[in-house]
Structures are given as structure tokens and as C-alpha cells.
Chains A and B, each alone.
Chain A
Amino acid sequence: GDSVTQMEGPVTLSEEAFLTINCTYTATGYPSLFWYVQYPGEGLQLLLKATKADDKGSNKGFEATYRKETTSFHLEKGSVQVSDSAVYFCALGNDYKLSFGAGTTVTVRA
């Protein structure tokens, strides 16, 4: 079945540091890939998505590229801010069903 494996946390960074969170997947067919974010005390929000191979999703300075050859969708941000502290979830969507990774907690210190 479909599954997502993402880098375990927690990750602690200083402000303006580079962030990478690795995500790989196993799936049948041609899934869409997503990154969701959960800020403290808030619900899950879609951060970015890519619907086919080689697509790049981007939002709020975050980027991720759908790599079919390596079955990966790594999240990157060049310069993080304290406000980026959150739990990040990689997810795979096959038709209507989302399969999530376990989440990576990121803390950015000033």
C-alpha cells in the first residue's frame, strides 16, 4: 500500500539557517504529493503541493520538487524564521485518500 517516510525530528535551528526535511514515498499509480504544516495550537494547513513528476511546489519561501526517479519530495527553505516553528507532515494523495508521514517537529531559535 501507499506509505510515506519522513525525516525524524525534532530539528532545532537558528534563525536564517537552511532547512531540509527529507521525505520519500511508496505508491501505486501517479499520486500527488503534499506538505502540510501544523503551527502550535492550530489545525493542519496545506503548505504546498505537486501533482506530477518534476513539478515544484512553493509557498512562504518553502519549496519541494516531486522526484519520481528517487520517489522523494524533500522540503527546503533557505532562511528560516522563528515563525516557521511547527510540525511538518509530508503526505501522498492517491485519488481522495491522503497518507501521511509521522511528522517532523521544527524549532527555530532567535
Chain B
Amino acid sequence: GAGVSQTPSNKVTEKGKYVELRCDPISGHTALYWYRQSLGQGPEFLIYFQGTGAADDSGLPNDRFFAVRPEGSVSTLKIQRTERGDSAVYLCASSSGQGRNEQFFGPGTRLTVL
């Protein structure tokens, strides 16, 4: 079956612009996660959705970052007024149920802010 998909695979933008990154989780997975992976580092947790609601957004670095999941499936990570330090690979993962179930990762979106 289809895995987690993310679009676009690459995004180049200019400092100050707004970007949206999309994640399509595995069908039926109620939990969805966003992580950010900077060069040479492991992924860092950003936000966790259970259904439509953000159960934990403690990893979002500041109020320029926002994520939604209006129908409990597809999620969009939105970044306003992008900065060069936002350049990273943004990973999405999904899992069935909640808690300790295995997270399945998408291929990521590489964001470059010039």
C-alpha cells in the first residue's frame, strides 16, 4: 500500500516569503507528526496531531510556524516570513492509534531559504 507522501520534495524560497508543506499520511492513520531535520542532525519533533487536533505543538520554534489537519487526514505545515535558519528537511510521519505505535516516515520536503 501507499506510504506517507510529502509535497513538494524540494522547495526553494526567498527570505520573508510564505511556504506551505503538505503531508498525506497512510490511510487510516489517526496520528500525524511533523519533524525538522537540520543538516548533520537527527530529526527534531515539531508537532503531533491526533485526529484533527494538535495534541502537542511544543516543538514549533516560534509563532511563524503553524500546522493544520482540518479533516484528520492531510496536514499542512505553514511557515510565515521565512528565514535562512528555517532551511532544513521537514519530515512527516503517521501512525495508527496513539502512543507507542510505530511511526512511518515520509521522504521529506527539503526547504531552502535564500
Are the C-beta atoms of A102 and B100 separated by less than 8 Å?
no
Asked if B106 is an interface residue, CB under 8 A from chain A, the answer is yes
Are the C-beta atoms of A99 and B102 separated by less than 8 Å?
no
Are the C-beta atoms of B108 and A43 separated by less than 8 Å?
yes
Distance in angstroms between the alpha carbons of A43 and B48 in the assembled complex:
19
Distance in angstroms between the alpha carbons of A96 and B42 in the assembled complex:
17
Are the C-beta atoms of B41 and A96 separated by less than 8 Å?
no
Contact residues in B for A100 (Cβ distance below 8 Å): 42-44
Number of A-B contacts (CB under 8 A): 55
Distance in angstroms between the alpha carbons of A103 and B41 in the assembled complex:
7
The one of A46, A89, A97 that contacts B56, using a Cβ cutoff of 8 Å: A97
Contact residues in B for A45 (Cβ distance below 8 Å): 105
Asked if A69 is an interface residue, CB under 8 A from chain B, the answer is no
Asked if A81 is an interface residue, CB under 8 A from chain B, the answer is no
Are the C-beta atoms of B40 and A98 separated by less than 8 Å?
no
Give 9 nearest A-B pairs by CB, closest first.
A100-B42, A44-B105, A43-B107, A43-B105, A100-B43, A97-B45, A102-B42, A89-B42, A101-B42
